Chains A and B, each alone.
Chain A
């Protein structure tokens, strides 16, 4: 079983829509959680950290459910510029608590 699993998508949504992605992780001891964004043929960039209490950054909301071992990302009022691959990232005790990346979920926002 992969340590981090994501629905690869693509999620095709119209501008202005609300879209949500989930990500499940297998290691119950994982301590830190993040969402990264990767544009086509570009490098990943940190979108937001995910805190136990949930956190919001503008149109983006991230939540953590430790009991069910998943994290979610909600994007409200989608913009064309939100089109990208969203990478779920958790820490792993193996390899010295380094980051483990999911394969990503593709979002396409269309006008």
Chain B
């Protein structure tokens, strides 16, 4: 099992460009999440999908959109990138949506917006 995979690993964008971060999991998990991690701050939840067909906003959803394409895949889209979106983005999955289910994280995407 590959676990949670993310593409790309690194990306540099110019302000105003758009891009989609891809995430896939092969553990048959129901719930998937997108977090961002900035220096000196904890991981912050951007969006989550408790189950296939549902998505909900997290703590910092502005400037992002998500799509739960199927049970395996959960993508994050930046429509018009801004320097404030420079961050490391982690996708995660868990078997259930409750807080006691262990979260499995992907290796991260390092995004720089110039």
State A8–B40 Cα separation when bound (angstroms). 8
Contact in complex: B42, A101 (CB < 8 Å)? yes
Kindly provide the distance from the CB of A107 to the nearest chain B CB, expressed in whole angstroms.
Answer: 17
State A104–B33 Cα separation when bound (angstroms). 20
Contact in complex: A103, B58 (CB < 8 Å)? no
Interface of B is mostly: loop
Contact in complex: B103, A46 (CB < 8 Å)? yes
A→B interface (CB under 8 Å): 4, 8, 31-32, 41-46, 49, 87, 91, 94-104
State A30–B25 Cα separation when bound (angstroms). 29
B→A interface (CB under 8 Å): 33, 35, 40-45, 48, 56-59, 90, 98-100, 102-103, 105-108
Report the nearest A residue to B35, measured CB to CB.
A101
Interface of A is mostly: loop
Knowing A103-B41, A103-B42 are in contact, say whether A97-B99 is a contact too (CB < 8 A).
Answer: yes
State A92–B17 Cα separation when bound (angstroms). 34
Residues of B within 8 A of A103 (CB): 40-42
Contact in complex: A98, B58 (CB < 8 Å)? yes
Report the nearest B residue to A3, measured CB to CB.
B42
Known: A94-B59, A98-B33. 19 other contacts (CB 8 A): A4-B42, A42-B107, A42-B108, A43-B90, A43-B107, A43-B108, A44-B90, A44-B105, A46-B103, A49-B100, A91-B99, A95-B59, A96-B56, A98-B48, A98-B99, A101-B35, A103-B41, A103-B42, A104-B42
Contact of A43 among B40, B44, B100, B105 (CB under 8 A): B105
Residues of A within 8 A of B90 (CB): 43-44
